Structure 1
């Protein structure tokens, strides 16, 4: 004979079964959201070669769950049987479902992007002929292959050899039917963003094939912005409350007999320390364990310092053109050059600043021109 207590324990508990059913449904919605986001990420990576934005992936996963629960009847049947729609259990369940689905969708997006970026890349054809055949057959992307030889951009520091070796022969995929200018802009943005390139000089043919590629790196830090003959140093100083980087300052000693030491440019402040740019001849007047006072001067200290800083921040750069006897530049008026001529040095004896448009270059001249690297590259003589 079976003990009644044992028989009671053997009976299924409706509350436990309902709770397990709830967890099972939540798990199902989580898998649905993750799978949808992963599929969207793989498709987006394959089509555009870019990562699916985080918000779009989460939205795709939650949308799949919302479609499943799109009506009041479907929502009530899919939640906890006949539990009323406005009960607290229903509200808590719905919030938990969407919260876990959002988290799972973001995880699925990351997994899908990894598969689209790495797994598909390993399985993709590696030669340009195979890539071209794939593009022609699929018709969904445009393949751009970088040349094996990558040039340096004049006026910029060269890109390190490791980066050039990694980029040589690399193939980039972009959406189809892009105009040449948009394709050029996207390729430039990819190289600058993914490889830290300072400037990209690229020419594309009508078919999207690269005819020329030059890369340059933009130096970071304060050094490239210093004018010739100046140095930057950090001193213990008390600048004016309204002083800001770029102001011209006069540096005074702060002891009993204050006296001016130098005139410089304020580059930055932090607590009681200030970084100033001064002439290299004035560096010896400063002592490491001494405090100084900064007096802000009206106006700008030196225009050349502003010019150097502005040029470093712009795409334009300055280069020197030597005019050889019998060369293509001899006798050329300066207004015919595809760049702005800042100055012409005539045999080292006479410099002409901002020459008139009708000034013709002569043998032995050195012309200093300002322009974008792609324009400077087209100059007849370098």
Structure 2
């Protein structure tokens, strides 16, 4: 018979060899029982099961070597099997308690940032996203210029830290597309707040702002302070000529207007065609005033007249707010709000004859109009003259106006 240390080592070896299968069974049973029922399997039952399974292997080993049952190695092996089974059972039970019972690809995608990269300003967490590695190109688009690539590489952007990674990627892509006027952006952010960016340079920046039937013409003139893209202007090409109205698509003014200066866009046209797009961003969104050049989008018939003059006069046209915005402003100033009440199938308004007088009396709101879900007999979708009591259908919308509390009550009762 071998010495005691050798017997202990043999027992440890036999226990590890025969305890693998019982440990797997104990861990799986603990996980499934806790996950399905929410109750833990008693540890005694796990030990009995594990020893029974290990006994099968031990019996087979006993047939090969009958001396095993007569040596201390059997006791050591049994202890190792029980300890492995108990440990596997505890891990399986803990996993069954924390494993989500409902999950999908969408929930798996809602991964957030690591807490180590979050900066707390008061009670609000912020994270700074910085690019990592080189800024790549997008297949099918021209490569980025060296200056724009370096500017993207050295940038940083702050966002709320509680957003999922997918939302952070979407917001960063939108910001890059807006700030740098990029044609395409692909962003990937890891849990450490490091962004991998692939981008495509701007393409056709000026031509995209020209509507069909229009032409962009650049005119030398005295540029007012504060002119920006989208301004409605009138250009007077001569003393006796009628003004030509158009929309500003780019402007440049100041003492350095001939070689830089303040500009709403680095592109400027001299013959009605398109100029090459600069690789950097606009240096200023508005002009600072003074002599300069303004590129105006005008009808094609008026473009030839502007091209024939060396210098014109620029007048900025007033732009009123849309009438519907003015109406909403007036209603809000008087304490009234407009609300759309949707007609639900089976709801209080489904199939009912709308009575504006009864609604005003019962709920304190005024019915302004109805938007039908489909065109009526006259081919229209809107009804504003409510002298009769029209019958409502599902997916119609009733627009009412009144005090905020009355509108809220009407929404709760009618929609």
TM-score by length of structure 1 reads 0.26
More helix as a share of residues: 1
**TM-score normalised by length of structure 2:** 0.24
- Please say which structure displays the higher CA radius of gyration: 2
